[in-house]
Amino acid sequence: MGLIDLHCHLLPGLDDGSPSMETSLKLAQEAVADGVSHCLLTPHHLNGHYVNHKQDVIRATVAFQEALEEAQIPLTVFPGQEVRVSDRVLPALEADDLLYVDEEGRYLLLEMPSGGVPTFARQLVFELLQHGVTPVIVHPERNAAILDDPSILE
């Protein structure tokens, strides 16, 4: 087994990642050349620009895996999401519309806005933890408040 990419925007046309299947396959080939054997495909979800429902991501991932196999690119892909902190996260969790890093649903890729940490974020994290879900903050380096005071994540 090679490297595993846990945060990847390879699904064509679903968000601000790859715009086409051709581009996605080219990027996948480059990832394999760099030693990647598995990718968690994580289109943006609930971020104000993109809503990528669980079943849509699963279908797109299956189609992409088929395209990889047809192109003989030895990359195994799994469905995931990069979920934006919002008041829509818990309803999505309760509606079973979220995808996780792991199959057991214990780790969720959670994206903060770049300008700061919303006041409700601490409560959201608490409630996710109560549901047995550990948020994994993606791109903390892009968040001004976290850069100013990393202890805000504690």
pLDDT score of 11:
97
pLDDT score of 22:
98
pLDDT in tens, 25-71: 999 999 999 999 999 999 999 988 999 999 999 999 999 999 999 99
The region, left, alpha or beta by phi > 0 then psi within -120 to 50, assigned to residue 7 is beta
pLDDT score of 18:
94
Query: For the chain, what percent of residues have pLDDT higher than 70?
Result: 100
153, pLDDT greater than 90? no
SS3 4: strand
pLDDT score of 103:
92
Q: What angle do CA 59, 23, 49 make, to 5 degrees?
A: 60
40 to 100, 105, 116: CA distances (angstroms): 9, 14, 26
Q: Rounded to a whole number, what is the distance in angstroms from the first to the last CA of the chain? A: 34
The domain locations on the chain are 3-153
Q: pTM of the entire structure?
A: 0.93
Q: How confident is the model at residue 20 (pLDDT cuts 50, 70, 90)?
A: very high
pLDDT in tens, 123-146: 999 999 999 999 999 999 998 888
Tell me which CATH code domain 3-153 carries.
3.20.20.140
How high is the mean pLDDT of the chain? 95
Helices (H) and strands (E) in the chain, counts: 5, 7
pLDDT score of 1:
82
Rounded Cα distance, 24 and 109, in Å: 21
pLDDT in tens, 2-14: 999 999 999 999 9
